[in-house]
Structure 1
Amino acid sequence: MPRIVFHGENAACFSHGFADLAPHDARIIVLPDVLETDEQKKAYATADMIVGVKFDASLPLPENLSLFHVPGAGYDAVNLELLPATALVCNCFGHDPAIAEYVFAGILNRHVPLDDADAKLRQGNWAYSSGSRDRLHDEICGKTIGLLGFGHIGQAIARRAKAFGMQVSVANRSPVANSEMVDQSFTLNELADFWPTADYVVVSVPMTPSTTGIVNADSFSAMKPGAVIFNVGRGPTIDEQALYDALNEGKIGGAVIDTWYTYPGPGKPIQLPSSLPFHTLKNLIMTPHMSGWTHGTVRRRQQTIADNIAHRLAGSPCINIVRKDS
């Protein structure tokens, strides 16, 4: 009987209905973020498999652990060196369709003024009606979207961009061949040439020492004056002060930011996402790390976790391996 622990509030979201996907004899245990009782600590320490977003020295060592599964893509809060060597570590994706839709919601919102047209027409104002050049609005066909990072998210965005008739420019760690999906590509040491190509820049690179602050003051100076930047990766990949200054001083056209610099924590549920006054800026849309958090994402990730558990129990290869066992 495999003991499967879902540790923490985030992981617990994936436990609902998981019994229908798990092996029929599995014991599913849901534990809080902070393990307070001896029973909770014992359940964690004796787990065969753990689904969680964090592992560090503050947690009991699960000595017989076979699989540690992150229920998302990012595993920067998991200390891989502290996990038992017996444990295979995997992560999940499945958020790329949702994030791609979020990006295009942000782009279309700037070009197709449905809300404003509706509000005005309810007052008898035909502000956007056809027949006069003064009432024209813009479109995204022919615009260029710049993708900083070309993993699952970047590729999902590129496919949709092509359906809208957009040009796609990519900057990625490894070279990306120009194709029907990519019109021009750059490596990360060619960013100075990448920034001016795009009307929209979408940042989806993972958080690493080399990507921290990869978008900085020089980047904003090199972008088109009307460029709009999206961050759906990790907040600190864009330099915090440089982003604020670029928006506050009107160096770029705007931003749609979903990943931030300060997050809520225990006893602090109300929290502005930065020490800088981003909330006062008019050329910014702020969202609370929601772009990939959909019913579809949860279902797809649940299936990945269940499949990897079944593979691990059967001794067959898993997918999305972050660290192999020894």
Structure 2
Amino acid sequence: MTIHPWSSLSPAVLFASVLLLAGIAAPAPAQESTGTVRLRVESHGVPLAGTQVRAGRIAVLTDAQGRATLRLPAGRHTIAVGLIGYARASTRIDVAAGADTTLVIAMEVEAIETEGIVVLSTRTERRIEDEPVRVEVLGREEIEEKMLMTPGDISMMLNETSGLRVQTTSPSLGGANVRIQGLRGRYTQLLSDGLPLYGGQSGALSMLQIPPMDLAQVEVIKGVASALYGASALGGVVNLISRRPAEVRELLLNQTTRGGTDGILWASGELTERWGYTFLGSGHRQLMHDVNADGWADLPGYQRVVLRPRLFWNDGAGRSLFFTVGGTVENREGGTLSG
């Protein structure tokens, strides 16, 4: 009888031997296909913390010593760095599989210009960051956006400003006033270039008769401003700042689906080195319109013409004057429709 040497081994020993032989026969693992890039970001020898380092879809931030580590696939990569106040920089690098690469990237300081906002609502021209009273400013870009929707008045522009609400005071004629932080409209002072040219109270039709075409910015003081403008400014102030002379000509035509028509002409220019002018001429028409057919005009009818020329002078040293005269003629009707 022939006895094989493996027959005397236990099953456990046989299983372990099979695993050992499989391990020996298994192929060696593939060579690592990534490399490590260790970089330092600095500016004139000073490490830059918080710099964004990006290579394709991989992005990290540098630590307090300006260092960052990237694990990238082998091959050529573009590494870009960016930090506010510094010019962006980039470099191309070849990453070898399994290798460590050290890199230093230098960044140059880049000046950032921020536009200074000057406000006039506190009687003197000051930069908004130097003003003790909180003044919110709507810039020309926001004004133009709302002007395309309602070119004949400023009601929409004010109604979409936080803390302000345009409340209808005369439904038949469409009269409205502005409430600031919930206070009644008679406590809101409406100004033009810092002057109460629209009357002591804004509860009449004045707000609905102001085309936004000639506004450079709108300044809003939310809160008591009686020390500057009297009892009518207990709620706050809305100051409408007019545009200054520049070689600009603008024409706006608007037609609505509910019988509204607007035509506005704006012209401005320099007469001499110290003299300039602006001119606003507009015509507005709205047909009485009963939206829900109940015999009541939901949109009052009106015809309005506005003319407002201005003459500006400055001495080139910060002192300036302007002369203005304006006229508004309007015929407005509303209420029950005849027939």
TM-score, normalising length: structure 2:
0.23
Greater percentage in strand: 2
* Greater relative contact order structure (CA < 8 Å, 6+ sep): 1
Give the greater-gyration-radius structure (CA).
2
Greater percentage in helix: 1
